[in-house]
Structure 1
Amino acid sequence: MLSKYPLFFVFLFLVFGKSPAQQLPSRQFTTADGLPNNAIRSLLLDSRGILWIGTENGISKLENGLFQNFYESDGLAFNSCWAISEDKNQHLWFGSYGGGVTFFDGKEFRKIQETDSLADNRIRHFYPYQDFMLVGTEDGISLIDTETLKVTTIASSINNTDLNYTTGFWEESGKLYYSTYRSGSYEIFWENEIPKTRKINDWLPIYAIFQQGDSLLLSDKGSLKAISKEDFLEGKKPEISFGQSIFWDQVPGISGENYLLAAGLFSKDGGIFELNEAGLLDQTARFGVDSKFIQAGALDKERGLLFLGSLDKGLYQVRIDQTVIYEDFGGKEVRGITGKEELLALLHTGGLEIRNTKTGKITETLAPEFKKVQESYFSQFPQKIPKHLDGFFELDPTIPAQEMEFYELHLQQDGFWINTNLGIYHLSLEGKIKTYLPVHCFSMGFTPDGKLIETNPYAGVRIYDNPEEFSFTYFHPDEANTPLQISKVAHSSSKTFLASVFHGFYHWDGQQFTAYRKAGIWDEEKFKTLHVMENGNLLVGTEFGELYRIEVEPAFKELKKWDKDELQGTSILALESYGESIIAVTEKGIHLLQGDKNSFRDEEQGFFQKVFLSAKRIGDDLYLGSTKGFYRISLPDFVKSQTQSIRLGITEFKVNHIPLNPDDFEWFIFQPKKLQLEADQNTLYIRFKPTGPIESGKLRYKYRLKSDAEWTEFFNEPVMELPYLPWGIYQLEVEVWDYHSGDMSRVNLLEFEIKKPFYLKAWFIALLFLGMAGLFTMIYRIRSSQFKAKTSMNQRLTEIKLEALRSQMNPHFTFNAINSIQYYILKNDTNQALNYLGMFSALIRITLDQSSKTQISLAEELDYLRKYIEVENMRMDHRVDWQIEGNAIDKAEEIFISPMLIQPLVENVFVHAFPGDYPSPKLRIRYDLGEKNSLICTVEDNGIGISNTPKPNHESKGTRLIREKLMLLPGNTEDSLMVETGNWGTKVRMRIYL
């Protein structure tokens, strides 16, 4: 800790250091990226990881690379925001210069102004203290209760002058202090619960005040004043002055660094300065910041980011964790990189630069020197110049130094090897050219024992056993296994491997080449990059972006393949490894492959120059050369697991295209709860976002609505449109692929229920059932009534027809009976005529009685038939032997049939069956009970039969009437009346359904 006297000696020798050539990756945000204004007055990284930016024309919220702006129209007291703070309740306070304070609790903005007893509407500083938010204004101090928002202004802090504005608060030994611009510094204390002030020091001016251990740093006009806290509290004046510009803010670094931010009022001497034991070091250029007016800063320690707000050029984001360091290298292309401990060599467009990383010494061998060696060789040894016809790639010795092309840089134990369009050069570790080969070579390499391998795209390969003497072994392209069109050469401890653009993979085992395609080992044919891992495995990248990990000893084996859709970009530019971690460089960025994990790094991790030309791991550092400078990457930190806790929040929610109530959101996030939606509220629009400090640009999403549903395909935009969902309970899950870390995580985003439509609810179904039952009953009754009416009508029609038939049958019988009476009269048999007439009259009475009935008992039918047969047999002198029998006669009283059914059949027997001289006529009538509740009546005679009658094909009227009558009775068909006849007589069988 600095005490009174050591402080003097420390700051007496402080000097401004120069910015080194290396830079930390930085990114600039302006109004073009979404900022409301480029003049930034205040910054705050809140407890949620959200960066709040106060500008001269609005407030902006930066979360995961996206800006959201707020203005007076959104509820701010005033657009110009000069101070931002967060209280212990995690609520935010925005101080405007001219409109007072804006309080934000996550749901709404509330204004606190002079009308609420605020000292002044021009806010300079906030300071959270116990249950209060201290507000330093242009003139005076106010305390605002963080729970009730009650404002208390310290009367003694008001001087009614613009020179009294607050420049800072600080605490020491449990006491609270503040300083002003030109009114001195004060202690705030409470007396009888009333806040008061007392002056402790008259020193002025003070633009800002910072604590540094036991000391205070006072920002003066164009310098910093240093004094111990003890001396300052005793009212003493600072005696140490250093630095330049006006310092406005103090920001810590991730490892305890102390950064001071400066912006001059009338001069461009500000920037970012690091205060350490060595002095006050200007870091503006190293941080990649081109503004000299930096007034606000905020540290995101978790992500290793420092945010800097400028008054003229917007916001800067600097990655200060030093995992990635960039050097613009004078804007030169870095074509090749190699080195070892304490030695770094960079091949660029102008030649070779060799750095001693321990001493800082830099040695350069530039193009003119290379050209000079080439010219000297061609001048001194023209006879040694190889010819194109001899299988050497064409070389143009007239190319000037400024048009030299440097292809590759290799490090061997005795020095560097460089192949160019003017030949191959061998240099010492100090950069002196030792050997020159007049050979044009695009790709070269070395055998495990250090022999140079020179490749010609079309004319084979040479292995040099003595390059200085131009001694080599040539492998002609006509030989089956000679490598052609080689893109990369690398070697292990026992073999040299060659990757071809068109002809597949080769290796040299010290004796011969082996072509993998021709040997049937591996059919892949187009390769671009090659790297040998420490364990002997090979990494091979194809022309079209596929990556293989293979082993070749003891036998070839393909260990793993990454398809092109697993790697960002279309081609693999370079391959390196660090232990088991594989580094694949593409035109989009850098893939880190660790087992099954596939993570990706790009500009979000500081790689803004992504046109990579070279890559080389040297110890624990990875160097990447680009078209503008190079990167140095600390691999222990770079390959460290980057697992992030992914949280998602809904930022926009529409149901049937209508936004939800803003009260359902807090801190711009929909608060999780189970939604109950009506059946017709089934079209949802959901926009969500990752919350907290994560690399949101490297997230992909897919979702499912139920645990047993299928996942959707991955998508980039965090928006879901869910139209016309059926009723049911939904658990909306989102699976997030973070390809920054290579991890997959699952988030339960929302649970909601869409109610059943009313027509599927129990009460409606019950009501519908009752309604349908009532309707059915009503229809049934109506139809039943209609059926009964129709049946009654049909029955009446049937009865009318039956009566009509009976009316036809009765006259027919009467006619026959009168003929019989007439017969007796003509015989002058008076007694017989009278007797017959008596029996006939009785029979007529029965006939008339039964004709009016629809049904009679079988007993009545039998009685009627007996009387009828007696009448008819009397007419035939009782010659007919007749008999009525059958098993139905016993139940004659219980059986009911239609009347006058059998009588016509019996009548036919007496009229047609027995001529006058027919011998022994017989008539048999049977009534038997049949199946299906039927009565079978059989009338059989032994007469002449129908075939012997004058009209054999004629059906008697009586038979026809019976058939018609049977058809009118239910259940009867044409087959209900069957007639059989022959020389033996006639048999009529009738089935009557009861």
Structure 2
Amino acid sequence: MKKLIILALFGVLLTNCQKKTNTDKIEISALYPAPKSYPINLGEGYSKNIHTGAEIKPIVTSKRDTIVTGKPIAFKGTVVPFAKGREYQLTTKTNNKIAAFTNRFLAKDPTIYPLTDSNKTVKSNRHIIFKGDTLSTGIPIPFKGKKIALRQPNLVKAKPMFFRDQALYNIQNLDVLQGMASAKVYDLCLSKKGGLWLATYNGISHYDGQSFVHYSRKEGLPNGNVRAILEDRKGNIWFSPMGKGVCKFDGDSLMIFDQNIGIKGNSIWPIIEDSKGNIWWGSSLGLAKYDGKQIIHYTTNEGLSQNLIESIYEDRKGNIWIGTSNRGVNRFDGKRFEQYTYKQGLPLARVYAILEDKQGNMWFGSNGRGVVKFDGKRFFHYTKSAGMSGMIVRSLSEDKQGHIWMATSDGGLNKFDGQHFFHFTDREGLGDNYILKMIKDQQDNLWLGTYKSGLIKCDLNTFSKRKIRGNTTEEVVRAFWQDKQQRLLLLSQLGGLVRYDGKTFIAPDSTAFFANKPAYDVLQDKNGAVWLAIFGGLIKYEGNKMTHYMPNVIVRALLEDREGNLWIGTQGYGLYKYDGAQLTKFANADGLPHMSISTLLEDKQGNIWIGTEHGLSKYDGRSLINFSAKEGLSDPLIMTLYEDAQGFLWIGTYSQGLMRFDGKQVTCYTTREGLSDNLVKSIIQDKQGSIWVGTEKGLNRLSGLKATNAYQIQQFGQVDGLKALDFEANSAFLDKNEVLWWGTGKSVLNLDTKTYNFPAKQPQVSLKQLAINEQFLDYRNLSDSIRQFVDFEQVAKFANYPVKLTLPYDFNHLTFYFTTQNLNQAHKIKYSYKIDRIDEQWSIPSEQPVAEYRNLPYGRFTLQVKAIGQSQIWSKTFEYQFTIRPPWWHTWWFRLAYILVGVLAVAGYVRWRTYSLKRRQKMLEQTIEEHTRDLKESNEELIQLSEHLKTNKEEIVALKEKEKELLEEQVKTSESEFLLTMKSVQEKFNWIQTIKDDFSKALNTNDPNELKTVEKELQKFLNATSDIDILSNRIESRYPGILAELNTLFPNLTPNEIKHCILIKLNLSVKEAAQLLSVSTHAVKMARKRLRKKMNIPEEIPLKDFLHSPTYYNSEDASEKSSEVNTKNT
């Protein structure tokens, strides 16, 4: 019994021990695999495409000639006549000019007002009367709030930001249809944790780039109309509901400050935090400072010019600037106020916005009076007459370049660079010109809160759209060039050449000429002439003269080499070289793989590279080498070529992406390695060394990684500011100002690489919300019915998930919602996650910030999640631990009780079994004695039975031996019959061979007597080989005298009946006889019946036995025996 209890306890220990899990971290692989490299094979070449596995076929021309690849061949060409071109005179009209920046206006001189003596006064009164109560001012007063619970709202998924149709810049909008709580955004602030806090007409909202969390009156706010919002250095959110004082949200609960005099029933407008951590706010009762414990009110008693406060700002020296509703600006140094009003020279009364720029100048935005810059001595007043688009300036900001941005509520957004005002209104893509607040994020993007169009994001340092003609909405540009005057030349598809001098796009008066002649390429030669490749020839510009050459040829590509030769690539007409005197044509006969040339390039060594529809060719001035799939190209259809600063040749293909050729091997980049599409149409390199690749479905940037000598690919699409994704072939250019230009299917696109901020920061991922069994739960306000099952220590601040969560076994369907709080790259973030003991590998990276697990087993788990963004750097791993309790039947106490009950049951059963066995033992002893007697009797019977079986066995063995002898006799008989048949066949063959020889001899001699002799011999053979004769011969050989016996006993038998007798005698069945005689089985049965009747054979005697001895059966003994049988049967 003791042993059983010890074993039971040991079993309990085993059931509660868990297997040790592998805690080694499984690193997530790169978002895209590394590119593959393949050597160029100029020897025998490849038999299959090493990239796709497709079978490689030889390049055959239209004349059925095979093009030689991989080997140098002579490349001489043929000199052809170069016909004189047709000349046109051009003029430039005023209506062919369009300003490059339609929103740029030269700033006129501001009105300047000198500063007069400022007024510094401090009154002695220390209180004011507010609604019948006395408000003490200028002295600290204890200040406490009332804490209330704030209900947690569910996440609202944010739809992507959108562009207005007329947008020329990367200006994106977010409105109620995209998930916002209200279209009115009064204030906004950036969170140190990431994301954006919004003060709206319907509460406060947090936006992380992917989702919203809306707090309104429904969740516990005292008022939904919130006019100001701030995040302090501790992460608390301060905001001011209209008429309800000030609120502080710490991520868990809400503290409402509205009980003190000066706060209760008052509306707070601006809120800021100073460099010392004090919170300042302004209202109709003046200025207030709160240090966390006490509040000090500052009013006109302390020196304010007015108590109605509109704006508050802290400068770099720690001074607090206060803008009032009707009495200008005040500066407070902590001891006294200095007033700047009309009296001191400030041409403003109501000040909405205050800013200090990098030079220390103060800027003031007003209500209807424009903006003022104050340098400490003078006021510079800018209004519409100076170039502004609006006069009501609500917010001010400064970017990294020192430009001043002004958000207005009557003219959109303005940028001032010191010389020009740039207007950004609804014509440039804003959803609303009525802007209430503006802030700048770390990437220099501007976020605008509007009065009726929600939130606007302005990324004005990225891609922008250019309009190059005034009378068209869309312009497709096929090529770019920068001439000797540093003007940019743009070749439009149907409008010819356009020149850009940095300010104006100018088109020569030749638009009508190009109406039905699409253009493809442009260059300026060393002599200053501009050449255009068009559908229908070659155009040469020299001053105001245009000359048209080769009008019947489709020219696709142009190149001027270092020797001044002009190379002309055509569509279907081969390649031409013009040296200024003569024209040389190169065709298939010269070794050119195809007559259609898509692109031309001269490398740093002076080699000419020719891209065709059947591969790539290299001409070194003497010979030509053709490269195809046989030599290692991934795709023979070449779209574009580019040589980078390191001398690598980049090859864009039609269907297999991008190749980098270093002279020995090609390295391939496709969608598998991160390209947005495999149809590569343009390649360009910027000054930073990045390779830009335009495709049919977006733009890609390949940035070099020095440590690995590889490239990191970043994709750009519509959400990054691209108005079109289909880039034009060979339409990419980097100008002298480091501005990149592209032609797309809808517009001209450019990017200033000097000011563009490439994302390089890794994301910071965290958990935002946790749903259980597909239900949203507010963990701070759980119902009692759920709280009794769910255990946790606390709820994470500013999130909705519990820390150290423990759940019952049936709460095992968990949905985790992640966030990176990345406002600018949220659409580029991908997440990968796993749970230890559940997942062996990380999940495939996905843009969905959600992980769902169903039917989780019980145990302790750790969720791990990582994120990767545009920087291609994985974030640090975020871990979340939780526990699912086992069901009661899997708990240790239940298992212990179960085992103990089992032990007791076993012990009881053993005792009962022992007693039963002893009792039964006696009964068995008696039964054994009885059975012993029975067994003895049975044993004697078995001995007798054994002797009987032995006798039977001997008889069976004798029968088997007899049967074996009969079978051997049948086999011998069959063998003798077969040998007899073969002998008969051989005799007949010899006989017919003799007849054949006699017949041939008779024919040769033409002797009639001999022919008759042969005929008789043949008839004799035929008679001898009849069926009856064959059968007769066989039966006679086996049963000699049987036929004579039958003829004697039964002389009236016909030959057919004799035949059936023979078949019966040969032991053939009815079926076998029918097959031999080619008759039915029924016919055989009837023949045998007639035979029995004719031969008078009794039914009880088988035909075979009768025919075995017919004489016997016709004797008297047989008759008597037959009679006895019949009598016995009767």
TM-score by length of 1: 0.66
Percent identical pairs in the alignment equals 19
Q: Does 1:788 align with 2:918?
A: yes
Higher relative contact order (CA 8 A, sep 6+): 2
Q: Which residue of 1 aligns with 2:1040?
A: none
Q: Tell me by how many angstroms 1:305 deviates.
A: 0.5
- 1:549-948 alignment, distance < 5 Å: 549-552=660-663, 556-564=664-672, 566-578=674-686, 580-593=689-702, 594=704, 595-613=710-728, 614-619=731-736, 620-635=738-753, 642-659=759-776, 661-663=778-780, 664-669=794-799, 673-693=803-823, 695-706=825-836, 709-738=840-869, 740-755=870-885, 758-798=888-928, 801=930
Structure-1 separation of matches of 2:211 and 2:573: 56
Q: For residue 424 of structure 1, what is the amino acid of its counterpart?
A: L
Q: Would the aligned equivalents of 1:119 and 1:141 in 2 still touch at CA under 8 Å? A: no
Q: Does 1:26 align with 2:139?
A: no
Q: Which residue of 1 aligns with 2:407?
A: 261
Q: Which residue of 1 aligns with 2:438?
A: 297
Structure-2 separation of matches of 1:617 and 1:271: 32
Q: Tell me by how many angstroms 1:533 deviates.
A: 2.3
1:569–1:787 CA distance, 2 compared to 1 (3 A): same
Q: Tell me by how many angstroms 1:575 deviates.
A: 1.4
1:361–1:299 CA distance, 2 compared to 1 (3 A): closer
Q: Would the aligned equivalents of 1:82 and 1:96 in 2 still touch at CA under 8 Å? A: yes
Q: For residue 529 of structure 1, what is the amino acid of its counterpart?
A: T
**Deviation readout 1:744-788 (Å, 9 max, x if unpaired):** 345233233444555555544443332222211122222222222
Q: Secondary structure at the residue paired with 1:260?
A: strand
1:709–1:499 CA distance, 2 compared to 1 (3 A): same
1:734–1:46 CA distance, 2 compared to 1 (3 A): closer
Q: Would the aligned equivalents of 1:623 and 1:632 in 2 still touch at CA under 8 Å? A: yes
1:721–1:486 CA distance, 2 compared to 1 (3 A): same
Q: Would the aligned equivalents of 2:396 and 2:405 in 1 still touch at CA under 8 Å? A: yes
1:456–1:337 CA distance, 2 compared to 1 (3 A): closer
Q: Which residue of 2 aligns with 1:499?
A: 611
Structure-2 separation of matches of 1:353 and 1:963: 127
Q: Tell me by how many angstroms 1:298 deviates.
A: 0.3
- 1:301-450 alignment, distance < 5 Å: 302-320=442-460, 322=461, 324-330=463-469, 331=473, 332-339=475-482, 342-348=486-492, 349-357=494-502, 363-368=506-511, 371=513, 401-414=514-527, 415-428=529-542, 432-433=545-546, 436-446=549-559, 448=561, 449-450=563-564
Q: Does 1:251 align with 2:397?
A: yes
Q: Secondary structure at the residue paired with 2:820?
A: strand
Please list every run of 5 or more consecutive structure 1 residues that lacks an aligned counterpart in the other structure: 1-7, 15-20, 232-237, 265-269, 372-400, 806-959, 968-973, 976-994
Q: Tell me by how many angstroms 1:666 deviates.
A: 4.1
Q: Which residue of 1 aligns with 2:368?
A: 221
Q: For residue 434 of structure 2, what is the amino acid of its counterpart?
A: F
1:499–1:127 CA distance, 2 compared to 1 (3 A): same
**Deviation readout 1:574-601 (Å, 9 max, x if unpaired):** 1122475322112443222222422223
1:116–1:634 CA distance, 2 compared to 1 (3 A): same
Q: Would the aligned equivalents of 1:224 and 1:247 in 2 still touch at CA under 8 Å? A: yes
Q: Tell me by how many angstroms 1:99 deviates.
A: 4.3
Q: Does 1:210 align with 2:319?
A: no
Q: Would the aligned equivalents of 2:762 and 2:874 in 1 still touch at CA under 8 Å? A: no
Please list every run of 5 or more consecutive structure 2 residues that lacks an aligned counterpart in the other structure: 1-107, 115-165, 385-389, 705-709, 781-793, 944-1130
Q: Which residue of 2 aligns with 1:78?
A: 223
Q: Tell me by how many angstroms 1:299 deviates.
A: 0.3
Q: Does 1:536 align with 2:536?
A: no
1:402–1:735 CA distance, 2 compared to 1 (3 A): same
Q: Secondary structure at the residue paired with 2:901?
A: helix
Q: Would the aligned equivalents of 2:323 and 2:354 in 1 still touch at CA under 8 Å? A: no
Match among 231, 237, 240 for residue 92 of structure 1: 237
Structure-2 separation of matches of 1:67 and 1:750: 22
Q: Tell me by how many angstroms 1:416 deviates.
A: 2.8
Q: Tell me by how many angstroms 1:227 deviates.
A: 6.0
Mean CA deviation greater in 681-690 or 440-449: 440-449
**Deviation readout 1:701-741 (Å, 9 max, x if unpaired):** 22222388222223221111112223444332234332x22
**Deviation readout 1:113-141 (Å, 9 max, x if unpaired):** 4687515443322233556433322x213
Q: Would the aligned equivalents of 1:102 and 1:109 in 2 still touch at CA under 8 Å? A: yes
Structure-2 separation of matches of 1:254 and 1:340: 32
Q: For residue 747 of structure 1, what is the amino acid of its counterpart?
A: T
- 1:127-146 alignment, distance < 5 Å: 127-129=272-274, 130=276, 132-137=278-283, 139-141=284-286, 143=288, 145=290
Structure-1 separation of matches of 2:167 and 2:912: 100
1:442–1:788 CA distance, 2 compared to 1 (3 A): farther
**Deviation readout 1:60-82 (Å, 9 max, x if unpaired):** 33322544433221233323222
Q: Would the aligned equivalents of 1:461 and 1:483 in 2 still touch at CA under 8 Å? A: no
Q: Secondary structure at the residue paired with 1:691?
A: coil
Q: Tell me by how many angstroms 1:441 deviates.
A: 1.8
Q: Secondary structure at the residue paired with 1:418?
A: strand
Q: Secondary structure at the residue paired with 1:453?
A: strand
Q: Tell me by how many angstroms 1:13 deviates.
A: 11
Higher strand share: 1
Structure-1 separation of matches of 2:629 and 2:178: 55
1:37–1:328 CA distance, 2 compared to 1 (3 A): farther
Q: For residue 766 of structure 2, what is the amino acid of its counterpart?
A: G
Structure-2 separation of matches of 1:962 and 1:422: 120
Q: Which residue of 1 aligns with 2:575?
A: 461
1:190–1:730 CA distance, 2 compared to 1 (3 A): same
Q: Tell me by how many angstroms 1:31 deviates.
A: 2.6
Q: Secondary structure at the residue paired with 2:765?
A: strand
Q: For residue 690 of structure 1, what is the amino acid of its counterpart?
A: T
**Deviation readout 1:819-845 (Å, 9 max, x if unpaired):** xxxxxxxxxxxxxxxxxxxxxxxxxxx
Structure-1 separation of matches of 2:404 and 2:845: 44
Q: For residue 586 of structure 1, what is the amino acid of its counterpart?
A: T
Q: For residue 462 of structure 1, what is the amino acid of its counterpart?
A: Y
1:99–1:730 CA distance, 2 compared to 1 (3 A): same
Structure-1 separation of matches of 2:239 and 2:557: 63
Q: Would the aligned equivalents of 1:288 and 1:318 in 2 still touch at CA under 8 Å? A: no
Structure-2 separation of matches of 1:518 and 1:290: 52
Q: Would the aligned equivalents of 2:566 and 2:579 in 1 still touch at CA under 8 Å? A: yes
Q: Would the aligned equivalents of 1:95 and 1:101 in 2 still touch at CA under 8 Å? A: yes
Structure-1 separation of matches of 2:340 and 2:634: 85
Q: For residue 685 of structure 2, what is the amino acid of its counterpart?
A: S
